[in-house]
Structures are given as C-alpha cells and as structure tokens.
C-alpha cells in the first residue's frame, strides 16, 4: 500500500518543484524602452548600458529591450503610451514632455542656461529634482536627464550670423509653443514636423531648415541635406528617460533602488559619450556643410528677451530659481 502512496507523492513533489522553476521564469520582468535615434547616438548608447546594468544588478530578473529609431512612434506618441502604462519606458525631449507636464516647457526657453556647467548644476541640483518630481503628476517617473547639448540652426538658404538672417526662413521645430514663439521672435516662420520626417522635408525643400544639436544632426544625417550649420546655441533642452508610474509602482523597493543607482550611472555615461560625439559629429558635419561659429550671441539673446520676460508668470518663479543657480 505504502508503495502506491509514495509514488504519487514523489510525482507531486517533482511537479511542484518544476512548477517552481517555471514560476521563477515567469517572474522575469520584460520591459521595452522606446527612443528616436540610431543605437550609435549618445543617449541610445546610454540606454544599452542601462539595460545591461539593470540585467546584471537584478541577476537577470529584469530585462529591457530597446526600440530605437522611433519604431514604436514619435517622441509624443511614446510618452502617451508610457503615460497610459502600455509602454514601460520612453526617451523624451522636455519639449515633448511639456504637453503632458507644463513645467517641462521651461527648458524650451531660449538662452535659459548660461552654459553647460550651469545646465548640469540646475539639472543635478534641487531645482532639477523639484521639476523632475512633477512628472509623477502625469503618471510617469523621470529616471534620469539625458544630455542633449545645445541646439543651433541649419538650413539651405544662407549662413546665420544675426537674427536678421533668419527672416522668412521656414524652420522646423518640435511641437512646443515656446519653440514656435522663439522662431517668431527671430523673424523665422516655424513649422512642426516629426523628427523622423526632417531629413526628407529638408531634401524636398518643404522646410528651409531646422535646429538641433551636433550629435543629432550627425546621427540623423541631416547634414547631407543642409548647406549651412550656424552655432548660435539658442536652446539647451534636455532629453529624459521616463518610466510608466504603473510599472514603477509594481517594482519592489530593492528593484527601485537598483533603477535609481543605474540611472545615476547612465546619466554620467551619456555625459561622457555626448562630449565625445559632439566633437566627432561636428567634424563629420563639416565635410558636407559649412559651419559658422557665432561668438557674440548678444543680438540673439536680445531678440528673445521680451519672450523670456513674458513667460516668467507662467513658470511661477522657476525661471528666476534657475538663473540664481551659480
Ligand atoms: C534631439 C533630441 C530628441 C528630439 C529631437 C527633435 O535630437 O535628442 O529627443 O526628438 O531633438 O528635434 O525632435
């Protein structure tokens, strides 16, 4: 009789243990991370580092698959998906986040930062973390700031030396109101186009020009279809990596701590990669495109001063807080 009982018990125990293995397998959390540039761009290289480090630190419990090149949609579309909890993580420029989190628009204000050092002091400091916290009100959490350097004009009509040179040029911008108003203040004619469409819009003459940082111009090969690149550095709009709050809240405290630690590492990784690619990018751009520096930017700064002043009430003291960071 005993024989007949022990056999099935062993079978049941075996089944339970195997089910346990499968259950552990099921516990592996797979996440997707969507972004809009080729894997060789500084931010995207950072995301690959991020994915590897998260996998390593969680002993393979969390795996992240990258979806670069806007395959899951434009910047806005990916933020919408992350907000709705149908996409785990998205890279987004603060200019796109502004539609969901109004304070993020502050970074589209031209000449808001004095220089790169000021930019990082703000983002890494108290003001940056207060602004980042607003992301949670929109159903997301900002994991880290992704370096996005300074944006400058490139076009097919003439080199830009003063704001007057922008008069009448049709310039593509992201869908941010402040970017549109900035172009108007410079006398240009702004138009919003998806980032992935900029190359063909330049090639076919639908737009005269656009504005972006050197690594983006280089990685998206916009220089192939732009004659002039004029380094007026009118905006420093950071990119971000956001995670859906639904997804974040389902992580254990230990997993969240790993994300926070790896986010810090990745922010630093991208900073270094950015500095390197800015130099290399400009070199490559100069092969196809005439680059001009604008050492004295005062005419550009003056042209947008009224706009900057008019925006002060909207941001309830944050412009002043940013300016006060030394
Ligand atoms: C930069 C930025 C992107 C953004 C793009 C744009 O390249 O890194 O996040 O989408 O500009 O101008 O649309």
Q: What is the pLDDT of residue 225?
A: 98
Give which of 59, 28, 63 is closest to 48, Cα–Cα.
Answer: 63
Atom of ligand 1 nearest to the CA of 146: 8
Rounded to an integer, what distance in angstroms lies between the CA atom of residue 165 and that of residue 256?
Answer: 50
Averaged pLDDT for residues 207-218: 98
Give me the torsion for CA of 130, 242, 247, 134, rounded to 10°: 30
Question: Token digits for 50?
Answer: 């991020």
Least confident residue range of 11-20, 206-215, 230-239, 281-290 = 11-20
What are the sequence ranges of the domains in the chain?
8-148+237-279, 151-236+281-313
pLDDT tens profile 88-139: 999 999 999 999 999 999 999 999 999 999 999 999 999 999 999 999 999 9
CA distances from 303 to 175, 228, 270 (A): 21, 21, 32
> Could you tell me the distance, in angstroms and rounded to a whole number, from the CA of residue 221 to the centre of ligand 1?
13
Of 36, 107, 150, 223, the one to substitute when testing ligand 1's pocket (max ligand atoms within 8 A of C-beta) is 36
35 close to ligand 1 (CB < 6 Angstrom): no
> Could you tell me the distance, in angstroms and rounded to a whole number, from the CA of residue 200 to the centre of ligand 1?
16
Averaged pLDDT for residues 137-144: 98
Tell me if residue 190 falls in helix, strand or coil: strand
pLDDT tens profile 5-51: 444 443 343 333 333 333 345 689 999 999 999 999 999 999 999 99
pTM for this prediction = 0.92
Indicate the average pLDDT of the chain: 93
Q: What is the pLDDT of residue 21?
A: 32
Question: Token digits for 110?
Answer: 């031209």
Rounded to an integer, what distance in angstroms lies between the CA atom of residue 144 and that of residue 129?
Answer: 10
Question: Token digits for 47?
Answer: 């995301």
Q: What is the pLDDT of residue 175?
A: 93
Q: What is the pLDDT of residue 26?
A: 61
> Could you tell me the distance, in angstroms and rounded to a whole number, from the CA of residue 203 to the centre of ligand 1?
19
36 close to ligand 1 (CB < 6 Angstrom): yes
CATH match of 151-236+281-313 with 3.40.430.10: no
Q: Which CATH architecture has domain 8-148+237-279?
A: 3-Layer(aba) Sandwich (3.40)
Atom of ligand 1 nearest to the CA of 220: 7
């Amino acid at each position: 009789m005993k024989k007949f009982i022990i056999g099935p018990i062993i079978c049941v125990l075996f089944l339970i243990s195997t089910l346990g293995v499968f259950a552990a397998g099921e516990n592996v959390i797979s996440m997707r991370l969507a972004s809009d540039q080729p894997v060789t761009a500084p931010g995207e290289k950072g995301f690959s580092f991020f994915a590897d480090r998260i996998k390593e630190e969680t002993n393979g419990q969390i795996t992240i698959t990258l979806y670069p090149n806007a395959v899951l949609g434009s910047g806005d579309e990916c933020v919408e998906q992350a907000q709705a909890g149908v996409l785990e993580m998205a890279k987004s420029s603060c200019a796109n986040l502004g539609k969901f989190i109004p304070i993020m628009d502050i970074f589209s204000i031209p000449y808001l930062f004095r220089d790169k050092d000021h930019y990082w002091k703000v983002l890494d400091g108290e003001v940056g973390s207060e602004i980042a916290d607003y992301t949670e009100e929109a159903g997301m959490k900002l994991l880290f700031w992704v370096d996005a350097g300074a944006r400058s004009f490139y076009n097919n009509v003439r080199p830009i030396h003063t704001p007057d040179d922008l008069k009448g040029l049709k310039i593509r911008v992201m869908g941010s109101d402040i970017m549109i108003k900035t172009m108007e203040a410079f006398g240009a004619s702004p138009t919003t186009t998806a980032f992935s469409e900029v190359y063909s819009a330049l090639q076919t003459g639908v737009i005269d020009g656009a504005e972006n940082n050197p690594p983006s111009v280089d990685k998206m090969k916009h220089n192939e279809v732009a004659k002039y690149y004029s380094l007026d550095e009118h905006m420093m709009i950071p990119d971000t990596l956001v995670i859906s709050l639904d997804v974040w809240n389902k992580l254990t405290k230990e997993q969240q701590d790993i994300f926070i630690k790896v986010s810090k590492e990745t922010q630093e990784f991208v900073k270094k990669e950015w500095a390197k690619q800015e130099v290399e990018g400009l070199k490559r751009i100069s092969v196809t495109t005439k680059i001009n520096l604008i050492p004295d930017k005062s005419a550009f700064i003056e042209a947008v001063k009224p706009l900057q002043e008019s925006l002060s009430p909207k941001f309830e003291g944050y412009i002043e807080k940013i300016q006060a960071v030394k």
